[in-house]
Amino acid sequence: MKHLLLTPLLLLSMNLSAQIIDSSQIDFRPYKGKLIVINESHNVKTNNEAYYDIITKISKQLDKGDSINFIVEYPYSLSVEINRVKENDTSTVPHQFNYTNLPVRFIGVDFERPYKKEYNTYLLLLSRLIATLKEKQLLTKDLQEYYDLAEKRYVILKDNSRKPIITHYKKEREKFGVGSAEHQTITQLLFLLTADHNQLPNVKKRDSRNYRRLLEADKNGMISFKGNYNILVHGTCHTDPTKKKGIYNHFLARKDSPFRNNTYMTGQAYIDCVSAGDYFRDTARTITGSIFCGGEEKSLLITDYFRNRYKGVLQPGTLLMTRSANNMPEWEVYKGRFIGWHVHWKAPLEKNP
């Protein structure tokens, strides 16, 4: 089965064509073991340059053995494929990657998209796990039949077809020690099968679900937050710090959060940029916004500040990195949690190749 991965893998295939101005000089070492949240307007062309900037900056400040967890608003299966490509397995997508030698691991916990054949990383990962289980003589007839039917239709099947498979492999995992190859493979399979397979009806439920899955991934050893650098990039409606049940505040305030009172932001401001509402659509619209979702009056305090300061200075397509300053119009309650800003100036849409 051939699978093509498009826009999300542009995160790795960097062609730095934008003009980049860096006046930030941020020391990220105080944020080791903490969480840095970044808001995003999807598919703006300079987004990738912004993430490459922060990852390369942190990588230059790492101690021996440190790594970077980069949490993206993608399905788990897609983040696994991104890591495969990053690790120089280019059998799936022939790109040149700049992240290959950087100590960064991508992880997604968002719902598995029921996309058509060329986007279906869910089935791609499932086929690889089935091959491993077959080698270890752990493959069940139910799982094979589930995959065969899903692959034939190029769809993700309903929950009730996965439940008996999940029940079986939960019991099977108990037979193997934590850290064993069998335990790791089954853990990955269960994490894939228990994902939401359609978008949840509202942002609050989706943020709560993604939060719980990230805690589960940390508990199961699929990711390690402690002692590493942790960056979470999600759409602005998820990261808006005024939303008490958004993912930013889940990590900042919940009692079970590994980052309680240790959650910070690198804000992104978009000035007359072209964005799209979904990673796999090129439905373009010109937007001006910042860290607040739907709060135009609040966002104008920030975007007007940047517009007035850099009008006539920045060229279209410019990405500016700057640190937070006392005279910037962040609301007082958030000021102590801002590290810096990426300002996207009249950037175009990042189109699928």
228-278 pLDDT, tens digit per residue, is 999 999 999 999 998 999 999 999 999 999 999 999 999 999 999 998 866
CA distance 144 to 150: 10
User: Which of the residue ranges 104-108, 180-184, 227-231, 329-333 would you say has the lowest mean pLDDT?
Assistant: 329-333
Q: Which residues of 71-98 are buried (b: 16+ CB within 10 A; e: fewer)?
A: bbbbbbbbbbbbbbbbeeeeebbebebb
Residue 154 predicted with pLDDT over 90 = no
> Which residues touch 37 (CB under 8 Å, ≥6 apart)?
231, 232, 233, 234, 239, 247, 248, 251, 263, 264, 265, 266
Q: Which domains does the chain have, with CATH numbers?
A: 25-111+199-267 (3.40.50)
φ/ψ of residue 233, rounded to 5: -115, 120
Distance, CA of 146 to CA of 166 (rounded, Å):
12
pLDDT digits (tens, 9 = 90+) for 297-324: 778 888 888 898 899 999 999 998 887 6
Q: What are phi and psi of 38, to 5 degrees?
A: -125, 125
CA dist 93 and 173 (Å) reads 33
- State how far Cα 334 lies from the chain centre: 23
Distance from C-alpha of 20 to C-alpha of 56, rounded to nearest angstrom: 14
The answer to whether 348 touches 337, Cβ cutoff 8 Å, is no
Q: What is the pLDDT of residue 97?
A: 40
Rounded to an integer, the average pLDDT of 339-343 is 90
Mean pLDDT along residues 42-58: 90
Q: Is 180 left (phi over 0), alpha (psi -120 to 50) or beta?
A: beta
Cβ distance 5 to 81 under 8 Å? yes
For the chain, how long is the longest CA-to-CA vector? Answer: 66
Using the predicted structure, report yes or no on whether residue 294 has a pLDDT greater than 90.
no
Residue type, 227: G
d(CA 328, CA 326): 6
Considering only residues 56 and 200, tell me which one the structure prediction assigns the higher pLDDT: 56
The pLDDT value recorded for residue 161 is 79
pTM of the model: 0.89
Asked if 147 contacts 126 with a C-beta cutoff of 8 angstroms, the reply is yes
Q: Which of 123, 122, 144, 125 is closest to 134 using CA atoms? A: 144
Give the CA-trace dihedral at 69, 8, 185, 100, to 10 degrees.
Answer: -60
Asked if residue 295 has pLDDT above 70, the reply is: no
Report the residue count for the chain. Answer: 353
For 202-210, what is the mean pLDDT?
92
Instruction: Answer yes or no: is pLDDT of 91 > 90.
Output: no
DSSP output for 272-329:
EEEE-SSTT----EEEEE-S-SS-HHHHHHHHHHHHHHHTTTSPTTEEEEEE--TTS-
The share of the chain scoring above pLDDT 70, in percent, equals 80
Please name the residue ranges forming H helices in the chain.
47-59, 76-86, 121-135, 141-153, 163-173, 181-193, 203-219, 236-239, 247-253, 296-310, 332-335
Quickly state the pLDDT bin for 6 (edges 50, 70, 90).
Answer: very low
Q: Are 38 and 268 within 8 A, CB to CB?
A: yes
